[in-house]
Amino acid sequence: MLTNNSPSSAAPSAANAAVDGPGRRAHDDAPHTAEQFARLAELRDGPERTVLRDELVALWLPMAHRIASRFRDRGESIEDLRQVAALGLVKAVDRFDPSRGAFESYAVPTITGEIKRHFRDRLWVLRVPRRVQELRNRVRVARRELTQVPGTPEPTRADIAAHTGLSEDDVRAGLEALDSFSTLSLDAELTGDDDGHNLAEIVGATDASYDVVIDREAVKAGLRRLPERERAILYMRFFEDITQSRIAERLGISQMHVSRLISRSCARVRNEALAPSRPAGHIAL
């Protein structure tokens, strides 16, 4: 984890505060580092360059943390956001060209883009209805507004409903969306489990036998409505595994006729099983 413990040569940073204009500082966390960046651009890879690079990252880390704080209450912990912002800062330091202007002008969009990319890649993995996303955002903003004063207790569902004008059911939906903003890996270890079990071990698997049961129930009515001879042919063919030629011999008809009856009966049963529900007593012809 990157921390704000800068090496020894970072000590003068307080005296080298940034001045973006005549007598005006951009931010308290924007140090004056133009000389260091110019020096960094001149150095080849090696220990000296690594030390100077780390100094610059440490000097600008408070700014990265400030940018990360803008994205709090969006389903990620502030510590995780700070780590993402720090990664963006490192990229900005490595890619910055001192001849192109001030570092802050380059770093801010770079860090912000890294955080937004993090949200895009990791969060809302599942398609969530727009209304639920809107409820989540309204609840998130309300919670922030209701806890601005230090020491304020966590607002209740009723408090948020009164503040936003939403119903408590809508607030509940928004709160649930906040808690389910990101997905868990099936390999994730269960919280509080000392045996190292993961989520995949407790999630039920699909039982293929259920599909068989569903299919049987779906075709029962259609089979009952078949003429007796056609039901008998299907039973002999699919339950007794008798060949079409043997069925033809038993019934005294041609094998081709048996084949046509099987095809017609199966098509009729299938169509009835897949058709929309019909009023009671209706029989498909």
Q: Is residue 30 located within the same domain as residue 118?
A: yes
CA dihedral 195, 196, 199, 202 (to 10 degrees): -30
Q: Which tokens sit at 61? A: 């880390």
Residue of 119, 96, 13 lying closest to 59 (CA atoms): 13
DSSP E strands: which ranges in the chain? none
Query: In this structure, are 109 and 140 located in the same domain?
Result: no
220: in domain: yes
Residue 277 has pLDDT above 70, yes or no: no
Phi, psi (degrees; rounded to nearest 5) at 123:
-115, 160
Both 85 and 29 in a single domain? yes
Asked whether residue 282 is assigned to any structural domain, the reply reads: no
Integer distance in angstroms from the first to the last C-alpha of the chain? 72
**Residues of the chain above pLDDT 90, percent:** 40
State the Cα–Cα distance between residues 52 and 105, nearest whole angstrom. Answer: 20
154-205 pLDDT per residue, tens: 889 999 999 999 999 999 888 887 766 555 555 656 555 566 666 566 565 5
Structural domain boundaries enclosing 72: 8-122
How many domains are contained in the chain? 3
Distance CA 112, CA 239 (A): 66
The tokens describing 234, both together, are: 């299907």
Question: Is 223's pLDDT higher than 60?
Answer: yes
| Least trusted range by pLDDT, from 75-79, 117-121, 178-182, 191-195 | 191-195
